[in-house]
Amino acid sequence: MKKFVYTLFIAFWASVGTLVLVNMLVPDAAEQAPQRVQEPTETARYSLSEVTKHATLEDCWMVIEGTVYDVSDYVPRHPAPPSVLEPWCGREATEGMRTKGEDSDHSARAWRMLERYRVGGLEPSRRD
Partner 1 sequence: MGIFSIWSSAFVVSLATLIAIVSSHPEGLAGILDALGRATGIVGLLMLLLAAALSARVPGFDRWFGGLTRLWKTHHRLGAGSLVLLLLHPVLLSLAQAESGLDAAVQLLFPPLSDWPIWAGWAGLLLMMVFLAPSFSFFGHPDYRRWKLLHRLAGPAVIFALMHAWQYGRTLPANVDKWLWTVMAAMAVGAVAWRFVFSRRIGRLRYRVARVVAVANNLVELVLEPAGRRRLEYDAGQFVYMAPFDRELAAGHGEEHPYTLSSSPDEKNLRIAIKDLGDASRAIQTIRPGTRVTIEGPYGRFFPDREADGEHGKQLWIAGGIGITPFLGRARWISGRQRRCDVRLVYCVQDEARARFLEELNAISETLEGFQVIPHFFYRQGPLDAGFLVTHVPDLVEREAFVCGPPGLNTLAKRLLIGVGVGRKRIHTEEFELL
Q: Does 65 bind partner 1 (CB under 8 A)?
A: no
Smallest distance from partner 1 to CB 84, Å: 8
> Cβ-count burial of 51 within 10 angstroms (0-12 exposed, 13-18 middle, 19+ buried)?
buried
55 Cβ neighbours under 8 A, 6+ residues apart:
61, 89, 90, 91
Residue of the chain from 42, 43, 49, 109 that contacts partner 1 (CB under 8 A):
109
Q: Does 6 bind partner 1 (CB under 8 A)?
A: yes
114 Cβ neighbours under 8 A, 6+ residues apart:
64, 69, 71, 97, 106
Q: Does 34 bind partner 1 (CB under 8 A)?
A: yes
- Residues lying near partner 1 in the complex (CB under 8 A): 1-2, 4-6, 8-9, 11-12, 15-16, 19-20, 22-23, 26, 29-30, 32-34, 36-37, 76-77, 79-82, 84, 100-102, 104, 107-109, 112-113, 116
